Amino acid sequence: MSALAHSNSLVAQLRLNVAGLEVGVDVRVLVRRIRDHPPPPGGVPVTCVELSWEATRMPALFPTMLAELFARPLSSNETLLGIDGSYWLPLGAVGNAIDAAVGHRIAESVVRRLLADLADQVEAELVLDRDCSPPENRVLPG
């Protein structure tokens, strides 16, 4: 794999708590594009990262996702992280039935957990960048 391809692809774990048991699947995340949206009048610019992911093992059994992660400054020391995307289901009609029953709630929960994990990681990096002093900036999952 080339250095460029490696920098645009990484493995993450999507996690979900089900009845007190944490379930996770490793996914390959592909960064497709990064761009800044210009600010609206009186607003601030928003940085967007277009990405996709699929399970690294048995991808035919798990949904794939295309999403846009965004970071929007709320104030001089707070940033909102959010995500907007679509997922595609495996297993045809069976996958659609599972999604209608519980799948969409699982997807929402997984994405909320992913955003919280990302916010925690960014805050941890901010602490490291400030020689372990408490972060002045807050990253809030949206």
pLDDT per residue as tens digits for the range 26-83: 888 888 999 998 888 888 889 999 999 898 988 888 889 999 999 888 887 888 889 9
Which domain covers residue 115, as residue numbers? 3-141
User: Of all residues in the chain, what percent carry a pLDDT higher than 70?
Assistant: 82
Q: What is the pLDDT of residue 3?
A: 45
Alpha-carbon distance 7 to 35, whole Å? 16
Question: What pLDDT shows up at residue 4?
Answer: 46
Share of residues in the chain with pLDDT > 90 (%)? 14
Q: What is the pLDDT of residue 48?
A: 93
| Domain count along the chain | 1
Which residues fall within 8 angstroms of residue 92, CB to CB, at 6 or more apart? Answer: none
Q: What is the mean pLDDT of residues 123-133?
A: 64
> If we measure between CA atoms, which residue out of 95, 140, 109 comes closest to residue 18?
109
pLDDT at 2 over 80: no
Q: How many CB atoms lie within 10 A of CB 114?
A: 23
